[in-house]
Every structure is written in C-alpha cells, then in structure tokens.
Amino acid sequence: MRLSEDIGIDLGTATFLIYSKSRGLVLQEPSVIAMARDSKKVKAVGEEAYRMIGRTPGGIVAVRPIKDGVIADEGLTEKMITMFLQKVQGSAGRLFGFKPQLMVGVPSNVSDVEKRAVLRAALNSNAKRAFLIEEPLAAAIGAGLRIAEPIGSMVVDIGGGSTDVAVISLGGIVVSESMRVAGNEFDESIIRYVRRKHNVLIGERTAEEIKVKVGAAMLLDDAENLTAEVRGRDLVNGLPKTISLDSTDVVEALSEPVTKIVDGVKRVLEITPPELVSDIIDRGIVMTGGGSLLRNFDELLRQTTGIPVAVAENAVEAVAVGTGMALEMIPVLGDSLVSSDNYLRR
C-alpha cells in the first residue's frame, strides 16, 4: 500500500464503499455500527454490525448513522469512517500516521448544514483534506461517461436512502433533483404490504431478501412471476408464520416508490434545455446504484420516457469509483466540488 494514496468514499445509507485509485475498490460493507447502549462504546462496524440488526441483546444497539443519504448522527458517522479507513490502511497506515485526501459523494441539493457535517466528519477521521462531489456526477464519472464534453448525459442514481436524477454537461450538473425515495423505501413498502395484506410482521433484512429474490418494477410476461416463502410473526396470535409471496405481490408493493422515481425523472427532463434533451435521446439514460438493479426498472423507465435506458455494468460501485477518479480531475471539475479548505471557513 502507498501511504500517499488518496481515497474516494461513497457514504451510502445502505452501503459504505471505499475506492483507491491505486488499488481499486478496497471496501464494500453495510453502513451500520453497533454500540453499547449505555457507554456508547463501539462493538462492531460494517458486515459484523449488520448481522446484529434485529438480533442484539438489550444492552447493544445496531444503527445506521446515515439516513436518506446524509449524516443523521455526526459522532457515529465519524467513528464509522475512521474504523473503515483503519481497515483499509492496515497497521502500516496507523504506524506512520497516514492522512489521506478524501473525496466524498453526497446527494445533490444537500443543505449547507449537511455539507459541513460531512466535511467535519471526514476531517475528524484523520483526513488531511476533504472534498465533496454530488453523487450523480460521481456516478457518471464512475460509469465511464464523458462528462467534460459539451454533450448532455443523464444519470439516475438510486441508492439506499436517496435517488438523484441529473443532467450533466461540461463537467457540471445542469439540472437535477434529489428524492428521499430509494432502496430503503422499497424495503419499507414491502414490510407495509405484507403487514396489510397478510397481517404478518417481517424485518428489514427479510424485506430486502424478498426484493432481491422475487422483486421487480414490472413484469414483462408470466414466466417472470417468481415465488418465495417468507417467515415472519403473525400479528393476530404472535406466533411464527410462513407465507408465500410472488413477484406480482412485490410489483404491487413497490408501485408507489417506483412511480415517484419515474415521475422525478420526467420532471427533470421537462426542465432540461432542448439541446441537451436531444443529446439524451441519442445517448440514453444511465442508471446506477443498487436500486437500479431492481428487475425491469430500466425497461419501465424506457417505456415511460421513450428514451433508451441502460444500467451501468458497475452500478453498485459507480459512485465510489467516480469519487476516486474525481481526485484526478479536480482542475476539470472546478466549481462542481466543495473543498474543506475554504468551505469550513465561511
């Protein structure tokens, strides 16, 4: 490992990713931290903490310190960033006091308070300097789009806590919209649907498994209708119960959040300059983020907008890869970035 290497971070609501320009993607773990309820001492972070969700004793709590794509608990987020960086650096980094330069992806249209919270957390986690880049711009870079050219590109980045829709040209975002509707809202919609229709309570991990195994934004034919057994607690008698769910059920459960995202894409297209809309029709829409992997979501968006839609090959890692690559493009990106050197002095 080079002690001088710089690091890109996708500070995701669901997943925390770290990208090194020299080593590629070096960490991908759940954005979860487990701590003692009374002493606040950290017990675990990442994958180990995620396995504790819903299974902790009374004295330990597993939480997500990032909500809807922004910091909900600054202290815990700082600890989480620090512990993940220590995993990446190893003993050599800690021994020599390695201070990386960080590029952190944040949702578009975040407030000044939220930007300062992210920058403070990054600097307090032993970084020598921190930059912020809007996630759709980072996703476009990570997906290999030519963002510096005078050509319009459209990105729909569906993460865990937020969805960002943006039109990009000349290294910056021309129009964008950020919605607090994404993968976590998909899971919550499934939980509500199962409770309403079957009177059974399931947890967020079970809902996520349902979404991955049989979920879809739409079904193209009957052969795509898959079935899964789901275990939860019967709300009538309190006993364990197993039910069967198929893809048709999940499409119905997800219709509301999926429709909100589709409507957001249409709103951005409506306010995009005509010249850039022409470019988008030619080049298509690129989807990134874990939520874009929902089956047939790209086809639904294509049918709704009439524009070609493609899911990036590295959809989950695109933002993290883009943040790392952006560190090499600071002169090109210019005002599209926020730097801790001047922003925290305001």
Known binding-site residue numbers for ATP: 160-162, 208-211, 290-293
Q: How far apart are CA 295 and CA 287, in angstroms?
A: 12
Q: How far apart are CA 226 and CA 210, in angstroms?
A: 10
Q: How far apart are CA 101 and CA 107, in angstroms?
A: 20
Structure tokens at 44: 């675990």
Please enumerate, by residue number, every residue annotated as part of a binding site.
160-162, 208-211, 290-293
Q: Strands of 7-11's sheet, edge to edge?
A: 24-30, 15-20, 7-11, 101-106, 129-134, 337-339
Q: How far apart are CA 103 and CA 269, in angstroms?
A: 29
Per DSSP, the three-state class of 309 is strand
Q: How far apart are CA 230 and CA 187, in angstroms?
A: 14
Helix or strand (DSSP H, E) at 131: strand 129-134
Torsion, Cα of 62, 68, 70, 71 (10° steps): -30
Phi and psi angles of residue 72, each rounded to the nearest 5 degrees, phi first: -95, -35
CB 137, CB 330: distance < 8 Å = no
Categorise residue 297: left if φ over 0, alpha if ψ from -120 to 50, beta otherwise: alpha
* Residue written as token pair 């989480």: 80
Q: What is the distance in angstroms between the CA of the first residue and the CA of the last residue of the chain?
A: 36
Give buried/exposed letters for 43-76 (b at 16+ CB in 10 A, else e): bbbbeebbebbeebeeebbbbbbbbbbbbebeeb
The 3-state DSSP composition of the chain as helix, strand, coil percent (nearest 5) reads: 40, 25, 30
CB 129, CB 330: distance < 8 Å = no
